[in-house]
Structure 1
Amino acid sequence: MSNAQKHWEKSRSLLFITLIIWAVFSMGIFLFGAEMNEVTGPFGYPWTYWFTCQGSLGIFVILIFWFANRQEKIDEEFGFTERGDD
């Protein structure tokens, strides 16, 4: 297997892991929304509101930085880095 194929395999597996995490936090929370509506969170809003509006956005931002960091490590491992020798 060539170096480019190994790089693609690792990049593809990282992509699938990222998509699974995204799906859980974007759609999975709604599956338990009815049970969470009974519990109130900050300022009297139900937990469903806080998880979907605040928590999901925070997780998505963290997920973006995590993905970029892991992809950069994969790129460096196989010699496809975009960083210059400053």
Structure 2
Amino acid sequence: MKAEDRKAYWRSNLKLMTILLTIWAAVSFGAGIIFVEPLNEFSILGFPLGFWFAQQGSIIVFIALIIIYAVRMDALDKKYGVDAHDEGVAH
């Protein structure tokens, strides 16, 4: 891989990680801590929505973001022709 392709690949990876971590932080801290009082006016299965986000919602969002990251990185790897087996990465 050319040096400029490596830079573009890494830049794309960092951009994706920044976006996904920002979403996770917004959900975890925003919905679970900062906006808990307004969210508690609503409920899911009898539990206040703010409590639900703090206990369950942020975990579910985090798992979804991991899946999104894996899918997007596979696409990014294909775009730049990156294959761990071709690079001689030890298993």
- TM-score for both structures, normalised by structure 1: 0.82
CA–CA distance in structure 1, aligned partners of residues 81 and 55 of structure 2? 39
The amino acid of 1:4's aligned partner reads R
CA–CA distance in structure 2, aligned partners of residues 40 and 2 of structure 1? 51
Q: Point out where structure 1 has 5 or more consecutive residues left out of the alignment.
A: none
- TM-score for both structures, normalised by structure 2: 0.78
The amino acid of 2:25's aligned partner reads A
Q: Hey, which of these two has a bigger chunk of helix by percent?
A: 1
CA–CA distance in structure 1, aligned partners of residues 85 and 12 of structure 2? 19
Q: Which has the higher contact order (CA 8 A, sep 6+)?
A: 1
Q: 1:45, CA displacement in angstroms?
A: 2.4
How many residue pairs get aligned? The number is: 83
The counterpart of 2:61, out of the listed 52, 59, 62, is 59
Q: 1:83, CA displacement in angstroms?
A: 6.7
